[in-house]
Amino acid sequence: MIQYFHMKRLGQLFSFIIAVTVLLMLSSPAYAMDFRSAPNVLVPKGTTLNGMLVAAGTSVIIDGTVRGDVLCAGQEVTVRGTVDGDLMCAGQNVTVDGVVTGNIHAAGQTVSLDRTIGKNALLFGQNVAIREEAKIPGDLLFAAQHLVIDGTVGRDIGGAGESIAINGQIGRDITVADQTLRFGPDAQVAGGVTYVSPALLTADPTTVIHGVIRHELPKKEASVRKDLPFLAGTARAAAPFRAISGILIALGMGILLVIFFPVQTDSVTDRMTKEPGRTLLTGLLLLVITPVALVFLMLTIIGIPISLLLVLLFAAAVAVSRLFVAYLVGKKLIFASGNPEAPPVLRMIVGVPVVWIAFNIPLIGFFLTPLAVMWGLGGMLSSARHPSPRSGRKGK
């Protein structure tokens, strides 16, 4: 199947390498980083940036050249210039009509790839399109309501979507879950097609599929491993997909947090920094006592609706708690790079990928994740009891 994603340990090792590399780059004064946050972020045509670009705004447009990786978030994200590295962006509409020499990780309501990239693509969106002039030399991993491929994918395709339309050239195998799968007149698949769907695929008479076509009806999760052993490989293949999607979701939540609650975010992280021991202990007590209290509350008829609401609130607090740790990490890394005036959004954009990658490192992540949750929960409770008198937006 998809050799690029075959082994979970390779994915874990890859995550570890990325985490170490990012930390070294961010902490090294020799590595240039450009932080930009404005309603409209523009890299004009003819401009060359050396180093990593981190950008956030209503619109992010890259018409020039970035010699390094690009991490960006905006309502409209457009790349018409050159990115000499990896591109990782999230937005309502993401359009790549320029040169990207590395991988593309993109999420949005609409994601459009119009040109040739250098390596692999991980694309998430309601509508994802690989245009006729686009070429992905490596693998394509996706999650989309509607996927249209008119271009070329050099290796394997894996993912899930409601409707999938393929009218381009695929270099190896296709493994998907879908409602409808359709091949157009110009579709050519060098390998086989494995799909889980309630309906049979449709193909034009001129469609060419060289490998075996395998169709399976959707089945209950309990019988998947027994009846569909190939899906176990698909699950392993989805490990990088889950990691990237987790980062993008956390990034979106983090950006909303600092946009709508900037003062509260600084207040919580101030408490975490000033009283690390006390906030960790407070968070531990909350993790132990809260579930027990909720169970006892559920034993009473009157307490059932209240407890259900409290369960949702507690789950939300646990989810948000790690974002405060990410914010702190981003704040410290940006300060170390010599840019203490960077806005809160950029602190979150830098911190989330680093922290979430660390959470996925084998063994280390097993200990870091609960510690981060405890620290964040403790900071939230401490801040609620003793709110900070200042807004505190400047980095330390």
Q: What is the mean pLDDT of residues 80-94?
A: 88
Q: Whole-angstrom Cα distance, residue 2 to residue 157?
A: 8
Average pLDDT, the chain: 78
Q: Which residue has the higher pLDDT, 390 or 148?
A: 148
Q: First-to-last CA distance in the chain?
A: 49
Token output for 63: 């018409």
Lowest mean pLDDT among 24-33, 198-207, 297-306, 369-378: 24-33
> Average pLDDT for residues 146-167, to the nearest whole number?
92
CB atoms within 10 A of CB 364: 13
Under a CB-based contact definition with an 8 Å cutoff, are residues 348 and 54 in contact?
no
The share of the chain scoring above pLDDT 90, in percent, equals: 30
Least confident of 108-117, 169-178, 298-307: 298-307
Task: Show the tokens assigned to 242.
Answer: 């889950």
Render pLDDT for 11-42 as a digit per residue (tens, 0 to 9). 333 333 333 344 444 444 444 567 777 788 89
Q: Which of 84-88, 120-124, 238-242 has the lowest mean pLDDT?
A: 238-242
pLDDT (tens digit, 9 = 90+) per residue, 209-267?
999 999 988 875 444 444 444 444 444 444 555 556 677 778 778 887 887 788 888 88
* Rounded Cα–Cα distance for residues 18 and 322 (Å): 20
Average pLDDT of the residues in 203-210: 93
Q: How far is CA 151 from CA 135, 143, 365, in A?
A: 6, 18, 38
Contacts of residue 210, defined as CB under 8 A and 6 or more positions apart, other chains included, come to 189, 190, 191, 192
Q: Determine the pLDDT at residue 331.
A: 86
Q: Given a cut of 50, is residue 118 above it in pLDDT?
A: yes
pLDDT of residue 123: 86
Q: Between these two residues, 307 and 196, which has the higher pLDDT value? A: 196
The reported pLDDT for the residue numbered 205 is: 93
Average the pLDDT over 54-81 and give the result. Answer: 87
Whole-prediction pTM:
0.56
Query: Would you state the pLDDT for residue 213?
Result: 92
Mean pLDDT of the 181-202 span: 93
* Rounded-to-integer distance, Cα 155 and Cα 142, Å: 14
Exposed (0-12), middle (13-18) or buried (19+): which is 288, by Cβ within 10 Å? exposed
- Reading the block at residue 12, the tokens are 């874990």
Q: Quick one: tokens of 259? A: 């946009």
Instruction: At 315, list the tokens.
Output: 């789950």
Q: According to the model, what pLDDT value does residue 24 have? A: 41
* C-alpha 27, offset from chain centre: 23
| β-bridge pairing 104-113 and 121-130 | parallel
Residues, the chain, total? Answer: 396
pLDDT digits (tens, 9 = 90+) for 299-335: 654 455 565 666 777 777 888 889 999 999 888 888 8
- Stretch among 34-43, 61-70, 114-123 having the lowest mean pLDDT: 34-43
Secondary structure of the chain in the HEC alphabet?
A: CCHHHCCHHHHHHHHHHHHHHHHHHHHCCCCCEEEEECCEEEECCCCEEECEEEEEEEEEEECCEEECCEEEEEEEEEECCEECCCEEEEEEEEEECCEECCCEEEEEEEEEECCEECCCEEEEEEEEEECCCCEECCCEEEEEEEEEECCEECCCEEEEEEEEEECCEECCCEEEEEEEEEECCCCEECCCEEEECCCCCEECCCCEECCCEEEECCCCHHHHHHHCCHHHHHHHHHHHHHHHHHHHHHHHHHHHHHHHCHHHHHHHHHHHHHCHHHHHHHHHHHHHHHHHHHHHHHCCCCHHHHHHHHHHHHHHHHHHHHHHHHHHHHHHHHHHCCCCCCCHHHHHHHHHHHHHHHHCCCCHHHHHHHHHHHHHHHHHHHHHHCCCCCCCCCCC
Per the model's pLDDT, the better-predicted residue between 135 and 12 turns out to be 135
Q: What is the mean pLDDT of residues 205-212?
A: 93
Contact (CB, 8 A) for 354 and 22: yes
The yes-or-no verdict on residue 281 having pLDDT over 90 is: no
